[in-house]
Copies of this chain bind each other. A is one copy, B any other.
Amino acid sequence: MSIKTIERKVLQKNDEVAGENRSFFERKGIFALNLVSSPGSGKTSLLEQTLKNLESRAIKPAVVIGDVQTSLDAERLQSFDIPVIQLVTNGACHLEAMLVRDALTDIQPDQTELLFIENVGNLVCPAGFDLGEAMKVVIASTTEGDDKPLKYPAMFRNAKVLVINKTDLLPYVNCNMDQLRENALRINPSLTIFETSCVNGDGIDQWCDWLARQVKERTWQNVSG
C-alpha cells in the first residue's frame, strides 16, 4: 500500500536532495555538521570561538547560517576570512535540504574541508529534516536547565554530538550537569558530549581537537545519517 500525503511528499523531496548533498560532501571530502539548538543557546558564539581556534590548525572551514529573519549571525562572522553564507527562511522554522543545496556553490567547495550549517534556533522542527550532513550536533546551554533532553527527545536522539554550552553560568543557574548528561544519555546512549564556555574558553580545545580529528580521519563517511 502506498499512502501519499503532502507532508510525506515534502519530506520525500527533502530526503532526496539531502542524499544528493551528502554525496556532494563525500565526493568533495567535506565534513558537514548540522548545528541545532534552542534560540540563544550560543550557536554563533560557539562558531566564533571554534573558527578562531581552527585558524592555527590548517583546516579550511565554511559556514552556512539559517535564520528566520536578518543576517545578524552572518555579520558576526564576517571578520573571518572564510565563506559565510546566510540563508533566510522567511518565517519557516527549519532549514531544508534544497535551501542548503542552493548555498553549496558559494562555499568554495573545493577549498572547504569542514562545513558548519547553523540551523534555525528551534529544538523541535529541525530534528526531522536531513540536510545531507554527516551528523547533527545539538547545542544545549546550561541556562535551559537539565530536563531538555527528556522534553525534546527527537533532537537528542537524532544527534551524534551534544555540546553543553555556557558552563561559565553554572554557579548561577538551576542546572545539574550530571543530571543533564544522564538525561541526554538516557535518550541517546551513544552521544559524544562536550562541555564549553565561549566566555572563558573552557572546552573549546577539546571540541576543536575532535573536529580536527574527524576532518583528518574521515571516519564520518561511514556514520552519516
Question: CB-CB < 8 A to A193: which residues of B?
Answer: none
Interface residues of A, dominant DSSP: loop
Judge if A55 is at the interface, Cβ distance under 8 Å: no
Known: A122-B93, A141-B143. Is A150-B69 also a contact (CB below 8 A)?
Answer: yes
A:74-121 near B, CB below 8 Å: 91-93, 120-121
In the bound complex, what is the Cα–Cα distance between A172 and B142 (angstroms)? 13
Question: CB-CB < 8 A to A69: which residues of B?
Answer: 150-153
Question: CB-CB < 8 A to A5: which residues of B?
Answer: 6
Judge if A205 is at the interface, Cβ distance under 8 Å: no
- Interchain CB contact under 8 A, B145 and A40: yes
Interface centre among A7, A40, A122 (most CB of B within 10 A): A40
Known: A39-B144, A67-B151, A169-B173. Is A125-B125 also a contact (CB below 8 A)?
Answer: yes
- Which of chain B's residues has its CB closest to A145's CB? B40
In the bound complex, what is the Cα–Cα distance between A38 and B143 (angstroms)? 12
In the bound complex, what is the Cα–Cα distance between A73 and B151 (angstroms)? 9
Known: A68-B152, A70-B151, A152-B68. Is A39-B6 also a contact (CB below 8 A)?
Answer: no
A:113-148 near B, CB below 8 Å: 120-125, 141, 143-145, 147-148
- Interchain CB contact under 8 A, B169 and A39: no
In the bound complex, what is the Cα–Cα distance between A103 and B63 (angstroms)? 44
Question: CB-CB < 8 A to A169: which residues of B?
Answer: 143, 169, 172-173
Choice from B121, B124, B151 contacting A93 with Cβ under 8 Å: B124
Q: List 13 A-B contacts (CB under 8 A).
A: A38-B38, A39-B123, A39-B152, A69-B151, A72-B150, A91-B124, A92-B124, A93-B124, A121-B123, A122-B122, A122-B124, A125-B125, A169-B172
